[in-house]
Each structure stands twice: as structure tokens, then as C-alpha cells.
Amino acid sequence: MPINNKNVIKKIIVSLLVLIVVIPITASAEQHSCHLHGKAQASVIIKDNMININVNIPAKSILGYEGIAKTEKEKEDLNNAIKSLKKQSLFRFYKKRKWYQKKEEIQTLLTSNSIKVKEKNKSKETEHDTHHHNDHHEHSEHHDETHSEFIINNQYKIKDNSNLKSISTNLFKIAPRLDRVQLIVVNESKQIETYLDTESNYTKLK
């Protein structure tokens, strides 16, 4: 079977575009996200039949305090928050339909779900995988210069991305102290940057 050179070139260009966009997104989130209470950063990369989601949320927006879980109550709250985040869909995707029809949600299959908690202060930066967080949180003290954030990475599989029309987020229900999300969406044809809030948690992709 002859190789379609146009399709091969298109896939290479899309892959390069994803790399070019994702690296600045990640770097920006690393520098700023944990310092903006009530604000979160999210990126959604749509490529072929895969959707990759990365979200950075300040711990204070979920737990109500900064720093690392130290007391038994704080550790319990952290565990419960992680369990809750793992069970819920952070974003929902909808199909393109005729103007008089209600939007229809696209079914997604979760293939990867990772949650980490990262702490930052002026002197050092540490990162803990939440699967082992109980072994790592006792060495830190609560103080004003320490910031922590949840870093969530999800990967979903869908049948086809050609009908994707819009996206909404459940982050404001999951994290009631959150009031704004900076969202960047990258698909095979363009990049969208927008801001979602409690009044408008929905954006069009086309």
C-alpha cells in the first residue's frame, strides 16, 4: 500500500506543534500556579483519538490551607481530596450537533490517571507521588513561604475527535474555593486560550 506523504507530514507537524505548545504551558504552570490562590491552569491536548489533560491547582483551593499535611486531620483531608479527584471527570466534551438540538456528551475512556502534590519554597522544591504521600509529608513545616499544589494528569481515549465542538469543566464543583481556570486547548488545527470561571465554565472548540 503506498504511503500518503501528506498524511505523514501532517502528523509530524501536529506532533511538533504539541511539543512546542506543551513545554511553555508546563513551564508557566511550574513558575506561577501555586502562588495564585483560587486560580488554576489547565491544558487539553487533542491528537487523533487521544485527549491529554494537565491541571495545576493550588492546594489551598482544595484543602483550604497552604503547606504540607502535618496533622492527622490534614492527612485525612489530603487522602479524601485525592480519592475525590481520582473519581471525577475534570472536563466533559460535547459533539457537534444541529442548532436546534441539545448538546450531547462524548463518551471517553480513561486510560491514565496521575495525581501528585508538589511543595515549593524559597530554599527548595520537593515533589511527592500521591501513591506514597504518607511516607513523605512529616518532614515539612507549615509556613508562609511554603506553597503546595495538586498536579493532575489524565489521558482519555475517544472514538473520533472530528465532531468535538465544545468543552466544559467540573473543577469549580470539585474545588469550591477555585474561582478561575486558565485553559489552553490544542488540537490538530489550532490553539485556543481562554479563561473559565464559576459563571462561565464552557467554551467552544469550533
The pLDDT of residue 9 is: 54
Q: How far apart are CA 161 and CA 50, in angstroms?
A: 8
Cα 31 from chain centroid?
Answer: 16
Query: Where do the DSSP E strands lie in the chain?
Result: 39-47, 50-58, 91-95, 109-120, 125-129, 147-157, 164-169, 180-186, 191-197, 202-204
b/e per residue, 82-102, with b = 16+ CB within 10 A?
beebeeeebbbbbbeeeeeee
- The rounded percent of the chain whose pLDDT value lies above 90 is 39
In this structure, the number of other CB atoms found within 10 A of the CB of residue 201 comes to 18
Place 194 in a pLDDT band, splitting at 50, 70 and 90: very high
Any idea where the domains of the chain sit in the sequence? 5-204
The pLDDT of residue 32 is: 45
* Residue 108 reports pLDDT greater than 90: yes
The pLDDT of residue 121 is: 67
Q: Per mean pLDDT, which range of 42-51, 82-91, 92-101, 185-194 is the poorest?
A: 92-101
Q: Per mean pLDDT, which range of 17-31, 131-145, 166-180 is the poorest?
A: 131-145
